[in-house]
Homo-oligomer: A and B are copies of this chain.
Amino acid sequence: MKNCCDHKLDQTQAGEVLANFGLNRTKTKISILVVLSHSKAPLSVVEIHKSLKNKCDISTIFRNMAQFKEKNMIHEVNLGEDFSRFELALNDRKNEAHHHHVRCRECSTISLIEKCDLDLFEKMISKLGFKEMEHSLEFTGICSKCS
């Protein structure tokens, strides 16, 4: 199962990504990108903070996530927990990145699902060994009043 980014970035590559998106190459931003690019599943801010061994303040991570999101470098993912998760979205231009997740309600293990078709979903998920499945399909958009 592929990583959402496909590339495990090293520090130099992370710096180039930042430059491409018009952001400064700070230590914290580089470290966050490296951590995200090595994760197979979306990470919470707390998880990123732990990965960085308290080398930076958690509020800085929140601020950087806001900047990354603004630049569409990451996706914010909500998996029914009481916090957000984030994953890199660097492949969005190629339209290769659209996917969804399965999370275990017991242990919170998260698996990726690459195909976006309901029939395929059901087959793939049962292959993954998940039971007692529940799903939520929610939309946001700009309504006629607001556009």
Contact = CB atoms under 8 A, between A and B. Distances in A.
A91 B109 CA distance: 31
A130 B144 contact: yes
B145 A109 contact: yes
Given A78-B80, A80-B78, A104 B139 contact: no
Interface string A126-138: 0011111111111
A113 B130 CA distance: 26
24 contacts: A78-B80, A80-B140, A100-B136, A100-B137, A101-B138, A102-B140, A103-B139, A106-B142, A106-B146, A107-B145, A111-B143, A113-B139, A121-B137, A128-B143, A129-B144, A130-B139, A130-B141, A130-B143, A132-B141, A132-B147, A133-B139, A134-B139, A134-B141, A135-B137
